[in-house]
Chain A
Amino acid sequence: MEFLHAVREQSFLQVALLTGLLASVACGLVGSYVVVRRITYLAGGIAHCVLGGLGAARYLAVVHQWSWLHPLMGAVVAALVAAVIIGLVSLRAKQREDTVIGALWAIGMALGVLFIARTPGYQVDLMSYLFGSILMVTRGDLWLLVVLDVLVIAISVLYYHPLLAVCFDEEFARLRGLRVEVYYILLLCLTALTVVLLVSVVGIVMVIALLTLPVAVAGHFCKTLWQLMLLSTVLSMVMTTAGLAISYGPDLPAGATTILLAGSVYILVVFAAQLPHLFPRRTPAREQSPSSTDTRG
């Protein structure tokens, strides 16, 4: 209730709420592709490389007075470069894929840490990039986020059928004349842009959880990929909004609250799905057992 009041009064809360809702749409669509194609680890690598871009943009803006350079632009560039490199590594170096991606993951972060250390001024940036600062998103940021969001949604929807085919059976898609490598890199670039959107909401470290948990929950209820996308989007919207609302009163970090909420929902759903196995209905078993007791009796 207090949160609803505050949303009506405080414009920064309205911006935060909108940011969460916007990011949720890209998150539901692209998160579904990431989960069914099983490239969560690649998405993690891309996410951590984003810190390099954020740090570099901040450094250039402060030290070299490139004041037009918004940190989000640095993030977009870093995420796209990371997506292409990680995609090429994944396509070419099948044997050592995880080793190379693990290294890129850390190198991207290390670059970011160095840039931020050499940038005079607030050191809080590092914390807010890593763990999210949805309440610090400005109206100016919001426009950039809208552009990114529209781009991601348009491509995900327009290329739904070829992306579905490539995710389901890459070899068959190749035989139908689809340029599988191009679609794979495209998918990673979509992931990169979605990661940038989500970094504002929950921060680099927790991006992967928000990208995958709503999809993992929705997976229990969906038969097709587009159903999965729709339900994950709705769940993601509910979780980011609820996370913001719950954290507002006691002044908790919104990103961490959102992730804990999503994690709890996931565990509940997994547990509920296991219930029929853990406690099988006893009655049919009893109906069958009399024959054995009869013979014993």
Chain B
Amino acid sequence: MPDDAVIQIDRLSFAYPQTPVLDEVRLLIPRGDFVCMVGPNGGGKTTLLRLILGLLTPTSGTVRVFGRSPIEVRRRIGYMPQHTQLDPQFPVRAVDVVQMGRLGSGLVGPLRAADKAKALAALEEVRLADCARRPFAALSGGQRQRVLIARALACDPELLLMDEPTANLDPLVQDDMHELLHELNQRLTIVLVSHDVGFVTQHAKTVVCVNRQVRVHCASEITGDAIQALYGHAVHMVQHDHEH
């Protein structure tokens, strides 16, 4: 069983000075899972994501990723932040951004051809190969999200962590994104934070409600049911996690 676990969180608590954020969290995410983290703003979703990445250290308890500490296995994790955190005027092209996914420690001098090829392949995978040489700043919100996914894919990850991949997208673009992530889930374990009910109902295998504590809802038992029932259940879950 532990062999199969990609993320293993045990009795984890995290607090900023005088502000408890997460309390006694237990979570086990198996290989190949598609996890959607939902919950109210300030409930601790992004904090949990940053703990899994090793960008924050737990106040108590443990986080294991691939059975090791997150910092040791960082290079096996692909991470997609929200593009709104980045400077919109920065002079880079889409392909330059994706190539950053190929950087390792102590890399000096020009990029290797193999790394460039990998970056282009990642752009192709998110269907943006024709935008490779366009400035990142000139792309639409949805295209930028996809460039950041390509950058995460260029890392050759086994685990993909994403912060709001469908935020501020119009419905058509959202559908494309759902499809893309569904494809990626065939070979990757995916954990994402989202307010998007579409994910929760259509693609997520596991729904994790985060609000100080964590409740895991196995979405697989409801995926076979009628969509109506799914929506009912999803809405119910969102209401339900406001309670705890």
Partners in one complex: yes
Whether the pair B87, A177 counts as a contact (CB closer than 8 A) is: no
Whether the pair A36, B55 counts as a contact (CB closer than 8 A) is: no
| Interface-located stretch among A104-112, A131-139, A165-173, A277-285 | A165-173
Shortest CB–CB separation between residue A172 and chain B, in angstroms?
Answer: 7
Which residues in A have their C-beta under 8 angstroms from that of B90?
36, 167-168
Shortest CB–CB separation between residue A222 and chain B, in angstroms?
Answer: 5
Measured CB to CB, the nearest residue on chain B to A218 is: B91
Which residues in B have their C-beta under 8 angstroms from that of A223?
91, 93, 135
Whether the pair B87, A176 counts as a contact (CB closer than 8 A) is: no
Judge if B235 is at the interface, Cβ distance under 8 Å.
no
Which residues in A have their C-beta under 8 angstroms from that of B27?
none
Complex Cα–Cα for A149 and B100 (A) = 28
Whether the pair A162, B97 counts as a contact (CB closer than 8 A) is: no
Contact flag A168-B104 (CB < 8 Å), given A176-B75, A224-B96: no
Which residues in B have their C-beta under 8 angstroms from that of A219?
89, 91
Whether the pair A162, B91 counts as a contact (CB closer than 8 A) is: no
Contact flag A162-B151 (CB < 8 Å), given A173-B100, A223-B93: no
Judge if A164 is at the interface, Cβ distance under 8 Å.
yes
Whether the pair B75, A177 counts as a contact (CB closer than 8 A) is: yes
Judge if A158 is at the interface, Cβ distance under 8 Å.
yes
Which residues in B have their C-beta under 8 angstroms from that of A169?
81, 85-86, 100
Which residues in B have their C-beta under 8 angstroms from that of A228?
91
Which residues in A have their C-beta under 8 angstroms from that of B109?
158
Which residues in A have their C-beta under 8 angstroms from that of B91?
36, 219, 222-225, 227-228
Judge if B101 is at the interface, Cβ distance under 8 Å.
yes
Judge if B79 is at the interface, Cβ distance under 8 Å.
yes
Shortest CB–CB separation between residue B75 and chain A, in angstroms?
Answer: 6
Contact flag A161-B87 (CB < 8 Å), given A169-B100, A175-B74: no
Whether the pair A168, B74 counts as a contact (CB closer than 8 A) is: no
Shortest CB–CB separation between residue A230 and chain B, in angstroms?
Answer: 12
A window 33-86: CB within 8 A of B: 36, 38
Whether the pair A175, B53 counts as a contact (CB closer than 8 A) is: yes
Q: Mark A222-250, 1 if CB is under 8 A from B, else 0.
A: 11110110000000000000000000000
Contact flag A164-B74 (CB < 8 Å), given A158-B108, A223-B93, A225-B91: no
Judge if A7 is at the interface, Cβ distance under 8 Å.
no
Contact flag A175-B79 (CB < 8 Å), given A168-B86, A168-B97, A224-B92: yes
Judge if A174 is at the interface, Cβ distance under 8 Å.
yes
Judge if A178 is at the interface, Cβ distance under 8 Å.
yes
Q: Mark B167-184, 1 if CB is under 8 A from A, else 0.
A: 000000000000000000
Judge if B139 is at the interface, Cβ distance under 8 Å.
no
Select B100's contact among A159, A164, A177, A227, beta carbons within 8 Å: A164
Q: Mark A165-198, 1 if CB is under 8 A from B, else 0.
A: 1011101111111110000000000000000000
Whether the pair A176, B135 counts as a contact (CB closer than 8 A) is: no
Whether the pair B92, A168 counts as a contact (CB closer than 8 A) is: yes
Judge if B218 is at the interface, Cβ distance under 8 Å.
no
Shortest CB–CB separation between residue A90 and chain B, in angstroms?
Answer: 17
Complex Cα–Cα for A74 and B196 (A) = 59
Whether the pair A177, B93 counts as a contact (CB closer than 8 A) is: no
Whether the pair A177, B108 counts as a contact (CB closer than 8 A) is: no
Contact flag A178-B105 (CB < 8 Å), given A164-B92, A223-B93, A223-B135: yes
What would 12 A/B residue contacts be, using CB atoms closer than 8 Å? A36-B87, A36-B91, A161-B100, A168-B97, A171-B55, A173-B100, A173-B103, A175-B74, A176-B75, A177-B75, A222-B91, A223-B93
Known: A158-B109, A171-B81, A171-B85. 10 other contacts (CB 8 A): A36-B90, A159-B108, A161-B99, A161-B103, A162-B108, A169-B85, A172-B79, A172-B81, A176-B105, A219-B91
A interface residue numbers (CB < 8 A to B): 36, 38, 158-159, 161-162, 164-165, 167-169, 171-179, 219, 222-225, 227-228
